[in-house]
């Protein structure tokens, strides 16, 4: 239970940091904060403890490839930000991320 509480504090801290940066002159740094590997660290500890070093390596490699769906999301936000209302832009970008992630998972499982 304490572990869940600490994880929720990490998430809340990230949201606060994003809010502070988004209101500052360096607002673009708010886009970097979510990329801090908070959840990756948690996942890597759990995978390593339960499955070992080779599984950790596989998880890290999949994480490298998972940058592709995130790239698709950011590219769509960049291209659509001035062409669509906010929620349509973000929804379309999230759908693009979902499709790219599904393709990545499918391809990963084939190899």
Q: What is the pLDDT of residues 26-63, one digit of tens each?
A: 999 999 988 888 889 889 999 999 999 999 999 999 99
Q: Is residue 59 part of a domain?
A: yes
Task: Copy the structure tokens of residue 75.
Answer: 């590219």
Note whether residue 69 is domain-resident.
yes
Whether 16 maps to a domain, the answer reads no
pLDDT of residue 61: 97
Would 27 be classed as within a structural domain?
no
pLDDT at 90: 98
**21 domain-assigned:** no
Please tell me the predicted confidence (pLDDT) of residue 10. 82
Taking the model in full, what pTM does it have? 0.82
Q: Where are the beta strands (DSSP E) in the chain?
A: none
Q: What is the mean pLDDT of the chain?
A: 94
Asked if residue 30 is part of any domain, the answer here is no
Span 99-105, mean pLDDT?
98
Number of domains in the chain: 1
Within-domain flag for 90: yes
- The parent domain of residue 85 ranges over 53-111
| Residue 18, in any domain of the structure | no
* CB-CB neighbours of 65 under 10 Å: 12
């Amino acid at each position: 239970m304490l572990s869940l509480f600490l994880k929720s504090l990490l998430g809340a801290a990230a949201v606060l940091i994003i809010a502070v940066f988004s209101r500052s002159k360096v607002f673009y740094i708010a886009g970097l904060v979510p990329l801090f590997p908070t959840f990756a660290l948690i996942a890597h500890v759990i995978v390593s403890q339960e499955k070992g070093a080779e599984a950790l390596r596989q998880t890290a490699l999949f994480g490298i490839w998972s940058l592709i769906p995130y790239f698709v999301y950011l590219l769509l936000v960049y291209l659509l930000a001035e062409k669509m209302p906010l929620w349509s832009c973000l929804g379309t970008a999230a759908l693009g991320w979902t499709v790219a992630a599904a393709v990545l998972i499918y391809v990963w499982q084939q190899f």
